[in-house]
């Protein structure tokens, strides 16, 4: 009897586990009200997205991270906004005039732009916000970074050397904003689309004090959307159309919902269930989904390269050594096999599809491939270098990141270099990001794997990195010709786009004749995007996506 009983119990045990697990599970699809009705005759203008993290800050003067920038740009608007082609188009400003020396910009603001609370958006709102961004007491990171050297006195104000009202921005009446720049800055128009340059309603911000921008109630929208729910620690939030936006008639999308999902696999599962309309793919998921109908690759303007420090290892001072290294690794195999996410090979510094030259060609195309993978040439340079150095073996340390993909990449690059350049011994040093920055600042490395994302729409954002003594040079590269060419683009040639770009093109050639850096790849991201997501533009810098013109199309 006991034995029969035992079997029964065993069975009931297993069953009970299942039952316990299933109870209440069946209603699930019925009360899932987030899902838009796909086959309704009129498509509901709602998109559901996930976000990689919470939004740590919605204070446009304080944001530094991708999400803060993304959402401030969705609920607010600066002087201009980037359109489908990445061109600045009307925002709070309708037009502007630039003085002959290019240093004084006078913006005419529209008179029908309102804050959510009904107050008009005026020139004073910009003055208040810009001063606040460089106020040392505010402690903004992007304020001094984006405005320093651009707006007159920004750096001095930030250091506390001159009072706030000396910052080169003034209101001439309510609807004229006069901006004085340090130098003629041809890309200033695109800078104004960046959150640091957004206006702020002084009364509102002062009244909210420390609670400003910590929840939907303490935010004031003047852009296409506004939050219907959000707090700074919230894991889910909703954006709805802002009916008070001056161009509300253009905004078709009624609502966007967001929820934080960090795990790429979970995101893809949610996408497959139709709960979300877009999901990023990590490289381990790309193989599985690259044949999916909704698979797309979004290019990114971050460029990655190997920095070669000329101040530490004497071998790297030799231009032939650098030339050999820069040509000795197969980049195509790296982007195909290791990154596997749509990233493309970089054979120059300025990324592809970032800025066009004045005659409409892509900068990269105009400049061409300046540093390609070529083992034979690399070997030639290498032999020459070894003769010059009077040695037959060189040891170089390679500093790289310590996450999974970085490690694979480091090992691959080290292996390629030591295989293709006989006598070269590469030792790896893999450290976390922060530590790498510290070593970079201290110039305590031989070769370093590094990258850069643009801060404004101009080649200058990449080219100024390698000026002699530049804050981000940190590898002892110095070429007076390069310095002269680049400095001219910000001074004497600032108002002459054609000559200016000629200088950039020349400078890039100089940079690679010197083999200052070894370009590796330009990053891209692989995604699944639902075909019903329409009119969402990917920006070249600043907010990742532009939603003003977004809509929900019928799903096929």
Partner 1 sequence: MTRYILRRVWYMLLTLFIIATASFFLMKILPGSPLNAEDKLSEEQKEIILEKYGLNDPVPVQYAKYLGGLVQGDLGVSFKFDNTPVTQILVDRIGPSALLGFQALIVGSILGIFLGLMASIFRNSPIDFSSTIIAVIGTSIPSFVFAGLLQYVFAVKLGWFPVALWGTFEHTILPTIALAIHPLATAARFTRTEMVEVLHSNYIITARAKGVAESGIILKHGLRNALIPLITVLGPMAVGLMTGSMVIEQIFAIPGIGEQFVTSVMVNDYPTIMGTTLLFAFGFILIILIIDLLYGLIDPRIRLAGGSK
Site for partner 1 in 400-439 (CB under 8 A): 431-435, 437-438
Task: Specify the residue, 21 or 112, whose C-beta has the smaller distance to partner 1.
Answer: 21
Binding mask 213-232 for partner 1 (x = CB under 8 A): xx----------------xx
Subset of 42-61 contacting partner 1 (CB under 8 A): 50, 53-54, 56-57, 59
Within 8 A by CB and 6+ apart from 419, the residues are none
Task: Specify the residue, 318 or 448, whose C-beta has the smaller distance to partner 1.
Answer: 448
Task: Specify the residue, 315 or 349, whose C-beta has the smaller distance to partner 1.
Answer: 349
Subset of 26-45 contacting partner 1 (CB under 8 A): 26-29, 31-32
Distance, in Å, from the CA atom of 188 to the CA atom of 79, rounded to the nearest integer, reads 11
Q: What's the closest the beta carbon of residue 461 comes to partner 1, in angstroms? A: 10
CA distances from 362 to 120, 350, 355, 482, 515 (A): 40, 10, 6, 21, 23
The SS3 call for residue 294 is coil
Distance, in Å, from the CA atom of 457 to the CA atom of 94, rounded to the nearest integer, reads 20
Tokens at residue 525, please? 């991201």
CA distances from 556 to 56, 511, 530, 531, 536 (A): 37, 50, 10, 8, 18
Is residue 1 within the footprint of partner 1 (CB under 8 A)? no
Q: What's the closest the beta carbon of residue 279 comes to partner 1, in angstroms? A: 11
Distance, in Å, from the CA atom of 319 to the CA atom of 341, rounded to the nearest integer, reads 33
Distance, in Å, from the CA atom of 284 to the CA atom of 237, rounded to the nearest integer, reads 29
Stretch that binds partner 1, among 136-144, 291-299, 314-322, 404-412 (CB under 8 A): 136-144
How many Cα atoms within 13 Å fall on the side-chain side of residue 200? 28
Q: What's the closest the beta carbon of residue 56 comes to partner 1, in angstroms? A: 5
Q: What's the closest the beta carbon of residue 36 comes to partner 1, in angstroms? A: 16
Task: Specify the residue, 144 or 223, whose C-beta has the smaller distance to partner 1.
Answer: 144
Task: Specify the residue, 77 or 455, whose C-beta has the smaller distance to partner 1.
Answer: 455
Q: What's the closest the beta carbon of residue 418 comes to partner 1, in angstroms? A: 28
Q: What's the closest the beta carbon of residue 491 comes to partner 1, in angstroms? A: 20
- Entry field: residues in the chain: 556
E strand intervals along 70-224:
80-82, 88-90, 93-98, 104-109, 169-171, 176-180
The secondary structure of residue 352, as a DSSP letter, is T
CA distances from 502 to 140, 185, 486 (A): 35, 17, 10
Q: What's the closest the beta carbon of residue 32 comes to partner 1, in angstroms? A: 8
Out of 17, 19, 162, 248, the residue judged to bind partner 1 by CB under 8 A: 17
CA 402 to chain centre: 21
Q: What's the closest the beta carbon of residue 238 comes to partner 1, in angstroms? A: 14
Subset of 340-369 contacting partner 1 (CB under 8 A): none
Task: Specify the residue, 231 or 534, whose C-beta has the smaller distance to partner 1.
Answer: 231
Distance, in Å, from the CA atom of 354 to the CA atom of 239, rounded to the nearest integer, reads 29
Subset of 229-248 contacting partner 1 (CB under 8 A): 231-236
Tokens at residue 388, please? 């010059």
Subset of 246-285 contacting partner 1 (CB under 8 A): 259-263, 265-266, 269-270, 272-273, 275
Stretch that binds partner 1, among 98-106, 207-215, 370-378, 547-555 (CB under 8 A): 207-215
Task: Specify the residue, 69 or 253, whose C-beta has the smaller distance to partner 1.
Answer: 69
Q: What's the closest the beta carbon of residue 476 comes to partner 1, in angstroms? A: 17
Task: Specify the residue, 95 or 159, whose C-beta has the smaller distance to partner 1.
Answer: 159
Find the angle CA(342)-CA(347)-CA(348) to the nearest 5 degrees.
Answer: 115
Q: Residue 358: phi, psi to the nearest 5?
A: -55, -30
Task: Specify the residue, 105 or 130, whose C-beta has the smaller distance to partner 1.
Answer: 130
Closest-CA residue to 297 (of 529, 80, 470) = 529
Subset of 463-482 contacting partner 1 (CB under 8 A): 471-472
Distance, in Å, from the CA atom of 366 to the CA atom of 350, rounded to the nearest integer, reads 11
Subset of 291-320 contacting partner 1 (CB under 8 A): none
Out of 422, 441, 481, 554, the residue judged to bind partner 1 by CB under 8 A: 441
Out of 116, 189, 455, 508, the residue judged to bind partner 1 by CB under 8 A: 455
E strand intervals along 230-322:
236-241, 255-260, 278-281, 295-308
**Pairing label, strands 93-98, 394-400:** unpaired
How many Cα atoms within 13 Å fall on the side-chain side of residue 254? 5
Closest-CA residue to 136 (of 127, 128, 144) = 144
Q: What's the closest the beta carbon of residue 416 comes to partner 1, in angstroms? A: 26
Beta bridge partners of 305: 450, 519
**What is the rounded radius of gyration, in angstroms, for the C-alpha atoms of the chain?**
27
Binding mask 137-176 for partner 1 (x = CB under 8 A): xxxxxx-xx--x---------xx-----------------
Task: Specify the residue, 16 or 391, whose C-beta has the smaller distance to partner 1.
Answer: 16
Q: Are 139 and 176 in contact (CB under 8 A)?
A: no
How many Cα atoms within 13 Å fall on the side-chain side of residue 362? 11
Binding mask 65-104 for partner 1 (x = CB under 8 A): x---------------------------------------
Binding mask 176-205 for partner 1 (x = CB under 8 A): ------------------------------
Within 8 A by CB and 6+ apart from 505, the residues are 357, 363, 366, 367
Task: Specify the residue, 261 or 517, whose C-beta has the smaller distance to partner 1.
Answer: 261
Q: What's the closest the beta carbon of residue 180 comes to partner 1, in angstroms? A: 21
Contacts with partner 1 by CB under 8 A: the residue count is 77
Stretch that binds partner 1, among 62-70, 112-120, 307-315, 383-391 (CB under 8 A): 62-70
């Amino acid at each position: 009897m006991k034995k029969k009983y035992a079997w029964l119990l065993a069975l009931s045990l297993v069953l009970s586990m299942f039952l316990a697990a299933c109870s209440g599970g069946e209603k699930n699809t019925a009360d899932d009200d987030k899902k838009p009705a796909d086959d309704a005759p009129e498509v509901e203008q709602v998109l559901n997205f996930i976000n990689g993290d919470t939004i740590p800050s919605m204070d446009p003067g304080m944001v530094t991270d991708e999400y803060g920038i993304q959402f401030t740009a969705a609920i607010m608007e600066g002087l201009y906004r980037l359109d489908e082609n990445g061109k600045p188009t009307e925002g709070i400003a309708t037009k502007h005039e630039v003085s002959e020396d290019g240093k004084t910009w006078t913006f005419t603001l529209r008179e029908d732009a309102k804050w959510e609370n009904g107050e008009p958006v005026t020139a004073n709102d910009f003055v208040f916000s810009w001063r606040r961004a460089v106020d040392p007491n505010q402690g903004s990171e992007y304020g001094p970074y984006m405005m320093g050297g651009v707006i007159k006195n920004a750096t001095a104000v930030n250091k506390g050397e001159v009072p706030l009202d000396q910052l080169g921005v003034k209101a001439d009446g309510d609807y004229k904003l006069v901006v004085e720049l340090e130098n003629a800055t041809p890309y200033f128009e695109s800078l104004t689309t960046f959150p640091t340059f957004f206006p702020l309603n002084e009364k509102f911000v002062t009244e909210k004090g420390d609670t400003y921008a910590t929840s939907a109630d303490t935010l004031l929208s003047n852009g296409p959307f506004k939050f219907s729910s959000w707090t700074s620690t919230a894991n889910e939030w909703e954006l709805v159309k802002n009916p008070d936006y001056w161009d509300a008639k253009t905004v078709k999308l009624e609502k966007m919902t967001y929820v934080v999902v960090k795990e790429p696999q979970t995101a893809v599962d949610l996408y497959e269930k139709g709960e979300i309309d877009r999901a990023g793919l990590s490289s381990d998921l790309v193989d599985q989904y690259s044949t999916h109908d909704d698979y797309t690759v979004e290019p990114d303007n971050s460029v990655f390269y190997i920095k070669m420090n000329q101040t530490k290892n004497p071998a790297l001072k030799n231009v032939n050594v650098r030339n050999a290294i820069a040509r000795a690794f197969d980049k195509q195999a790296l982007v195909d096999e290791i990154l596997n996410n749509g990233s493309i090979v970089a054979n120059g510094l300025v990324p592809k599809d970032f800025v066009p030259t004045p005659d409409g060609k892509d900068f990269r195309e105009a400049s061409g491939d300046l540093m390609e993978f070529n083992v034979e040439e690399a070997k030639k340079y290498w032999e020459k270098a070894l003769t010059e150095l009077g040695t037959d073996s060189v040891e170089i340390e390679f500093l790289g990141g310590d996450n999974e993909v970085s490690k694979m990449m480091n090992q691959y690059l080290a292996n390629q270099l030591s295989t293709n350049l006989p006598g070269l011994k590469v030792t790896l040093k893999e450290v976390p990001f922060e530590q790498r920055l510290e070593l970079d600042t201290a110039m305590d490395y031989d070769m370093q794997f590094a990258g850069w994302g643009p801060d404004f729409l101009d080649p200058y954002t990449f080219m100024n990195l390698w000026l002699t003594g530049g804050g981000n040079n940190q590898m002892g590269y110095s070429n007076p010709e390069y310095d002269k060419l680049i400095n001219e683009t910000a001074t004497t040639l600032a108002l002459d786009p054609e000559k200016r770009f000629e200088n950039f093109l020349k400078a890039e050639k100089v940079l690679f004749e010197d083999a200052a850096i070894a370009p590796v790849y330009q990053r891209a991201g692989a995604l699944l995007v639902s075909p019903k997501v329409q009119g969402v533009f990917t920006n070249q810098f600043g907010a990742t996506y532009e939603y003003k013109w977004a809509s929900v199309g019928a799903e096929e």
